[in-house]
């Protein structure tokens, strides 16, 4: 498919994902493709990441493993695209549905909305339970402002790697690019962290994921700033952009800090700072230190409004690009 055809499929997929999301009735009966990716990664982990290996051997095994997994993903994307092409217009609709499966607009908004709803209806206990579904930090260490910050950070970060990045790689490389990105992103979340077990085996996955997310994280700044302009006015839009440029590099990740800083500026709230993961304190500076120090449920809800507007602007940008290429 050409880029203009990819843009059309992506536009329809974005609309479908905003309406349908990830229906429980479907994925309770079938394994989600990302779950299958995870099983493949786990299999390589079990076979090639033994504690008896040296650090150099683990790094080599991890590099070869992710290379094989990405090659498999590319071939799967090519084969599936060829298969869809056998069915003409129906095949296009099948590809639209396939792309929508790998986008996270509605599901992300729903999960973050659940945190706000739980805090309003059940208090801090319900909020901790809801936020534990979307973040890796220890929920019992979070007070209500901490829960709100965690939800907003997850919303911003996942806008970049759950919406913008898969959309971008699909436009550039079609289904092979989308599958490669999702395999890589899944591998990074599973084996890309700096624990003793994975610092070497997951090294290549983490570095490649950083490269794959670099353009999307910067594009996400512009989209969040545009979404802030629609929902909160010109001042919020300026702050989103300025804080992202100033504070985006304060995060330990070369990419995650960019959309988080943009959202912090849009909402005028501090994000990041010290956090606890599996009993270990991760100390980082506050993003948007001049913003309000106490995040609230309303900030979470305002963040969702900015997120939804940013998704809408992404769809409009895809539509305009498609018209321009025509």
In tens, the pLDDT along 288-308 reads 999 999 999 999 999 999 999
* Range from 28-32, 42-46, 312-316, 317-321 carrying the lowest mean pLDDT: 28-32
Band of residue 279 on the pLDDT scale cut at 50, 70, 90: low
pLDDT of 197 higher than 70: yes
Residue 284: Cβ within 10 Å count: 14
Q: What pLDDT, on the 0 to 100 scale, is given for residue 281?
A: 61
* Cα–Cα distance measured from residue 155 to residue 216, given in angstroms and rounded to the nearest whole number: 15
pTM of the predicted structure, to 2 decimals = 0.94
* Cα–Cα distance measured from residue 202 to residue 200, given in angstroms and rounded to the nearest whole number: 5
- Dihedral in degrees, nearest 10, Cα atoms 33, 183, 129, 100: -50
The pLDDT of 74-98, averaged and rounded, is: 97
pLDDT of 157 higher than 70: yes
Q: Do 147 and 119 form a contact (C-beta atoms < 8 A)? A: yes
Element (DSSP H or E) covering residue 224: helix 203-232
Domain that residue 300 falls in: 3-324
Q: What pLDDT, on the 0 to 100 scale, is given for residue 141?
A: 84
Q: Tokens for 271, please give them.
A: 């994000």
In tens, the pLDDT along 108-121 reads 999 999 999 999 99
* Cα–Cα distance measured from residue 23 to residue 21, given in angstroms and rounded to the nearest whole number: 6
Band of residue 65 on the pLDDT scale cut at 50, 70, 90: very high
The pLDDT of 87-97, averaged and rounded, is: 96
Q: What pLDDT, on the 0 to 100 scale, is given for residue 89?
A: 94
Band of residue 166 on the pLDDT scale cut at 50, 70, 90: very high
Q: How many CA atoms lie within 13 A of 151 on its CB side?
A: 34
- Candidates 323, 19, 311; CA nearest to 166 is 311
If you average pLDDT over every residue of the chain, what do you get? 94
In tens, the pLDDT along 225-277 reads 999 999 999 999 999 999 999 999 988 888 999 999 999 999 999 998 776 66
Cα 273 vs. chain centroid, distance in angstroms? 20
Band of residue 145 on the pLDDT scale cut at 50, 70, 90: very high
Sign of CA dihedral 273, 155, 30, 82: negative
Q: Report how many domains make up the chain.
A: 1
């Amino acid at each position: 498919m050409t880029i203009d055809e990819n843009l059309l499929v992506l536009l329809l997929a974005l609309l479908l994902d905003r309406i349908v999301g990830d229906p429980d009735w479907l994925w309770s009966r079938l394994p989600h493709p990302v779950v299958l990716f995870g099983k493949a990664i786990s299999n390589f982990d079990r076979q090639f990441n033994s504690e008896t290996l040296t650090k150099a051997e683990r790094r080599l095994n991890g590099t070869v493993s992710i290379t094989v997994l990405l090659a498999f993903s590319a071939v799967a994307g090519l084969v599936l695209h060829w298969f869809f092409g056998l069915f003409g217009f129906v095949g296009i609709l099948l590809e639209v549905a396939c792309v929508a499966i790998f986008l996270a607009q509605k599901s992300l908004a729903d999960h973050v909305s659940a945190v706000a709803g739980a805090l309003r209806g059940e208090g801090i206990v319900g909020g901790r339970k809801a936020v534990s579904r979307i973040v890796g930090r220890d929920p019992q260490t979070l007070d209500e402002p901490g829960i709100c910050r965690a939800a907003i950070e997850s919303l911003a970060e996942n806008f970049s790697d759950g919406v913008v990045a898969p959309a971008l790689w699909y436009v550039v490389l079609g289904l092979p690019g989308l599958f490669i990105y999702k395999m890589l992103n899944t591998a990074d979340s599973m084996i890309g962290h700096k624990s003793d077990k994975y610092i070497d085996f997951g090294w290549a996955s983490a570095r490649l994921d950083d490269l794959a997310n670099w353009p999307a994280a910067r594009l996400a700044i512009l989209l969040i700033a545009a979404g802030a302009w629609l929902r909160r006015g010109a001042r919020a839009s300026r702050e989103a952009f300025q804080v992202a440029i100033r504070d985006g590099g304060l995060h330990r990740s070369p990419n995650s800090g960019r959309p988080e800083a943009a959202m912090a500026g849009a909402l005028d709230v501090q994000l990041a700072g010290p956090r606890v993961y599996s009993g270990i304190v991760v100390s980082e500076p506050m993003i948007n230190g001049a913003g309000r120090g106490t995040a609230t449920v309303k900030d979470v809800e305002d963040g969702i409004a900015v997120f939804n507007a940013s998704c809408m602007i992404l769809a409009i940008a895809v539509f305009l690009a498609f018209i321009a290429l025509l």
